[in-house]
Amino acid sequence: MTKTTNSVRPAEGRIGVMIVGNGAVATTFMTGVLMARKGLAKPIGSMTQYDKIRVGSGTDARYLHYGEIVPLASLNDIVFGTWDVYPANAFEAAVNAEVLRAKDILPVEEELRAIVPMPAAFDKRFANRLDGDNVKNCATRWDMVEALREDIRRFKAANGCSRIVVLWAASTEIYVPVNMKVHDTLAHLEQAMRDNDTDNIAPSMCYAYAALAEGAPFIMGAPNTTVDIPAMWEMAERQQLPIAGKDFKTGQTLVKSGFAPIISTRCLGLNGWFSTNILGNRDGLVLDEPANFHTKEVSKLSTLESILCADKQPDLYSDYYHKVRINYYPPRGDAKEAWDNIDIFGWMGYPMQVKINFLCRDSILAAPVCLDLVLLSDLAARAGHSGIQRFMSFFLKSPMHDYTQDETPINHLYQQYTLLKNAIREMGGYDADEPLD
């Protein structure tokens, strides 16, 4: 077995996990971690807590948990903080979200009540359906940045944290297209913030900039363009910090990225893929606004393009129709339901159909993804990684990639898993011995 000494700094001290948003996803994540470290729940669905990776080969092969290969932070060392437009503490927010049962919240009520959201950096134009008043009074986007930086410094000192990770688990903002006059360089981005360019600078960009400026990795859990711009890549490289995004891959896109490879590997053709969802939580409410849904639509539509490629197989994928819908349906709450109708064709062009009905729980699927992204971002920072972290694409709907160089994103679930395993091996000092086919 080939192993070298890894150069990852140890996970010493407390890690502050500062979450933008204190809604269903955030409170389910926080409650689950607090319950798990008391031995009252299990972090099921978390790759960092359950998955095992082979290191070595042949008679030297061993299958180890991630934490046996690399120095992951302990759940016991996590301290939570949040920002939100609503002032309810994490216990009240968890109860209001109606995701978890009382027996799964009450044992950590005291800890959750102590998590009181800081006022959010917020612009109602970017999430028109939210009406909270727990917001910062900032004259400009640069003022937002400075206020958020102060929040991070104050939280880190007050909680004795050795390091911070900032995670966006808030609602989807309206779509902000990449503007290469503003988003191309860090200097242009900073000037636009100072000039209060509210068309091109979303509030989420202020969170990302503030996090990186304060030495914290940033994770974008929504389909916002926030860190998917060259200026933010430059900032991450300058600060020598990792960034990850975008949009947690939880339900329908997880299924899509796993099932589409079956079609391509079997050399079957595709005529059309229609996806629709019903969702009743706060995210569903925000996405009921067309401008916000468009941001999500762009993210969800991108999944098939790099898996079922017309240039590689024109007979099979040159003319398929792909449509995605999300419908706000309050009675369903967090219990999201996704339908996929897939029209395929086979031998001699004969048509067939596949139908998938996934009755899932949005926040239950997102919570372990939050944990994994936080722990892996912290690990990557201690390993000296900076910029786009492609190995985390396994957890994200629309993986980051350098589109300015015509790079194709990897959406194929099993290729993403190979990237993840190889990155863990390398950071653990082992050979990255699985080729990416």
CATH of the domain at 211: 3.40.50.720
Euclidean distance between CA atoms 252 and 275, whole angstroms? 8
Name the more confident of 198 and 294: 198
> Residue 189 pLDDT more than 60?
yes
pLDDT digits (tens, 9 = 90+) for 287-310: 778 877 776 677 666 789 889 999
pTM of the model: 0.94
Let me know whether 271 and 370 are in one domain.
Answer: no
Residues in the chain: 437
Q: Tell me what the mean pLDDT of segment 202-209 comes to.
A: 98
Let me know whether 122 and 184 are in one domain.
Answer: yes
> Residue 5 pLDDT more than 80?
no
Euclidean distance between CA atoms 140 and 7, whole angstroms? 41
Query: At 277, is the secondary structure helix, strand, or coil?
Result: strand
> Residue 84 pLDDT more than 90?
yes
Radius of gyration of the chain (CA): 21
Chain mean pLDDT for the chain: 94
The residues, ordered by sequence, that sit 6+ positions from 140 with a Cβ below 8 Å of its Cβ are: 193, 194, 195, 196
CA distances from 141 to 18, 130, 148, 192 (A): 20, 19, 11, 8
Q: Could you tell me the two tokens for 3?
A: 């192993």
Q: Which residues pair with 273 in a beta bridge?
A: 322, 342
Query: Is there a domain that residue 5 lies in?
Result: no
Instruction: Give the pLDDT band (50/70/90) at residue 286.
Output: confident
Q: Which amino acid is at 241?
A: L
Let me know whether 41 and 172 are in one domain.
Answer: yes
> Residue 342 pLDDT more than 60?
yes
Q: Is the four-CA dihedral 192, 195, 199, 201 of positive or negative sign? A: positive
pLDDT at 306: 87
Q: How many C-beta atoms lie closer than 10 Å to residue 192's C-beta?
A: 22
Let me know whether 260 and 382 are in one domain.
Answer: no
Query: At 95, is the secondary structure helix, strand, or coil?
Result: helix
Instruction: Give the pLDDT band (50/70/90) at residue 2.
Output: low
> Residue 8 pLDDT more than 70?
yes
Euclidean distance between CA atoms 357 and 72, whole angstroms? 36
Query: Is there a domain that residue 157 lies in?
Result: yes
Instruction: Give the pLDDT band (50/70/90) at residue 388.
Output: very high
Note down the domain range covering 395. 14-248+363-427
Start-to-end Cα distance in the chain: 23
Domain boundary among 313, 343, 362: 362
Strands 337-345 and 351-359, by their bridges, are antiparallel
Q: How many C-beta atoms lie closer than 10 Å to residue 314's C-beta?
A: 10
What is the percent of the chain where pLDDT is above 70? 97
